[in-house]
């Protein structure tokens, strides 16, 4: 089983704080994606990264793919209550056909 470890598992912060979520594996990814999931709904795609060292920004969210394509991070600047949710990283490992392997998830709560 190819594991994707996310840390931290839970994060409770106040509005305006910054945070970083990490996603690590011992295997190389051909691509990695980040999703956000609300309770009772399916995950929604935030970003896809495919090149080692790639950095992508989505408003206050910054995604980085590790140089070796084994890890990734999600940084949120000035968190808002609307950022509350379950953040999932998911990767397609090199050598697998197409299926995404999901991480364990980081549950973020942003309070006023």
Near another protein by CB under 8 A, which window of 54-62, 63-71, 73-81, 95-103? 95-103
Residue 45 makes contact with another protein by CB under 8 A:
yes
Half-sphere exposure in the Cβ direction for 44 (13 Å, CA): 9
What is the pairing mode between strands 10-14 and 19-24?
unpaired
What mask of x and - would describe binding to another protein in positions 50 to 89, judged by CB under 8 A?
x-------------------------------------x-
Is-contact 10 105, C-beta < 8 A?
A: no
Q: How far is the CB of 42 from another protein (least distance, A)?
A: 3
Residue ranges in 17-107 assigned as alpha helix (H) = none
């Amino acid at each position: 089983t190819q594991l994707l470890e996310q840390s931290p598992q839970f994060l409770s912060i106040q509005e305006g704080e910054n945070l970083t979520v990490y996603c690590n594996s011992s295997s190389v990814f051909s691509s990695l994606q980040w999703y956000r999931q609300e309770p009772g709904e399916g995950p929604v795609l935030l970003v896809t990264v495919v090149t080692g060292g790639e950095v992508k920004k989505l408003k206050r969210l910054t995604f980085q793919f590790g140089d070796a394509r084994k890890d990734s991070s999600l940084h949120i600047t000035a968190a808002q209550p609307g950022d509350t949710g379950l953040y999932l990283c998911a990767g397609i490992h090199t050598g697998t056909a197409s299926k995404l392997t999901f991480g364990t998830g980081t549950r973020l709560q942003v309070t006023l």
